[in-house]
Amino acid sequence: MTTEDGNKLGAQFLIMGTGGLTETVYPNIPGIDSFKGESHHTARWPEHGVDFTDKRVGIIGTGATGIQVVQTIATEVGHLTVFQRTPNYTIPMRNPKFDDAKRAELRAQYPQLKHRVHDTFAGFNYDFDERAFASVSPEDRQQRLEELWADGSLSFWVGSFGEMLVDETVNQEITEFIRAKIRARLDDPKVADMLVPSQYGFGTRRVPLENKYYEAFNQNNVDLVDTNATPMECITENGVRTSTGEIPLDILIYATAFDAGTGALTRIDIRGRAGKLLKDTWSEEVHTFMGLQVNGYPNMFTTMAPTSPAAAYCNVPTCVQQQVDWITDCITFARGRGAKAVEPTREAQDAWVAHHDEVGNATLAMKTKSWHVRTDAQGNQQRLIAYAGGANRYRKLCDEVKEHGYRELTVA
């Protein structure tokens, strides 16, 4: 390993704890460098903060982070223009307030919770409803959805009916429920038409949590620009030029996300056997063995990498803990055998990717354009970035590799 200041370090094993959402992405719009006002990417926010008082502010992007920014600064700015390409379904976040008694109650449950989170689909202490959707009466379905909505957490997404992720009829009913909830909070029906998604169903993209996000668009100082109907043409010295004219701005915020799953790894000059760059390997096809190793890159272990639940479909602390435990056990096993190198066989990696794709292709997420789905060079949907079989199932499969003596790996 060589650092940017020229220092060289040696190690037998390399564990990449670089995260899945760290390498920033900017929109492909001409003139980004020409803006003379203040500009920031949300992932590179200045430590001294930003003064929005009486400023004309523009924000590009309405994903999870963009939503957080809009709801936070809408009451602080002089005027806010929100540039939206894809609207999102969101869930109102209702942070509970804990007193000493409640904290003591939760602490007493730690031993059970420690095991519970590893036995659920998404690594939380709640899981999908075990009942088949069709077996529940319409009245009881409605009551269950209302209960989950009132909970104000991701339980509405990964704690309701699991069929929502694979059955279009089930998804449609739940989608209509949340569409009505969103519309009820907006004063202007035309704005509601732009903010309520119509091209995809609920839960097939990342589901953000929010706190009075929609109410921001009821304010007179907030405008919404649908960039599909009114495209952004370029960034100018003074603001953003759209197809209908220039919008002058003092501050421009990029809430345009990350190169998810792969960016933190491919930005580093990682070379495997025969000196092949990981970036080049993944430019052909993104594949791993269980999101833990890559064939051709011996002694390198990864966390939050593609084809594991941690890449998108898991409570990260739960899944990363599981991955780190597995990596520790694997290294211990290799060292116990005096091995110089450990890596997955190509056959084992191909088998895992085939299983990953079989599970992922059964989901509605594969029909939805989002960062959860990797595309090939031609822009065709290729595969889900994360394993959609559940954190609980993934853990069992990882445990089987260990119990069977890591026969899917070459340990030599």
* Class of the domain covering 14-22+260-411: alpha beta
- Type of residue at 241: R
Coil vs helix vs strand at 248: strand
Element (H, E) at 374: strand 373-375
Helix axes 316-336, 391-403, angle to 10 degrees: 10
Residue 104 CB-density burial (10 A; 0-12 exposed, 13-18 middle, 19+ buried): exposed
Going residue by residue through the chain (412 aa), what tens digit of pLDDT does each one get? 999 999 999 999 999 999 999 899 999 999 999 999 999 999 999 999 999 999 999 999 999 999 999 999 999 999 999 999 999 999 999 998 999 999 999 999 999 999 999 999 999 999 999 999 999 999 999 999 999 999 999 999 999 999 999 999 999 999 999 999 999 999 999 999 999 999 999 999 999 999 999 999 999 999 999 999 999 999 999 999 999 999 999 999 999 989 999 999 999 999 999 899 999 999 888 999 999 999 999 999 999 999 999 999 999 999 999 999 999 999 999 999 999 999 999 999 999 999 999 999 999 999 999 999 988 766 676 899 999 999 999 999 999 999 999 999 999 9
* Cβ-Cβ contacts under 8 Å for 164 (sequence gap 6 or more): 133, 170, 171, 174, 201, 202, 203
Parse the chain into domains and list their residue ranges: 14-22+260-411, 91-207
Q: Residue 81 — φ and ψ, nearest 5°?
A: -115, 120
Element (H, E) at 324: helix 316-336
Dihedral Cα 234, 239, 240, 246, nearest 10 deg: -110
Q: Residue 233 — φ and ψ, nearest 5°?
A: -90, -40
User: Could you tell me where the DSSP H helices lie in 337-371?
Assistant: 346-361
Element (H, E) at 84: strand 79-84
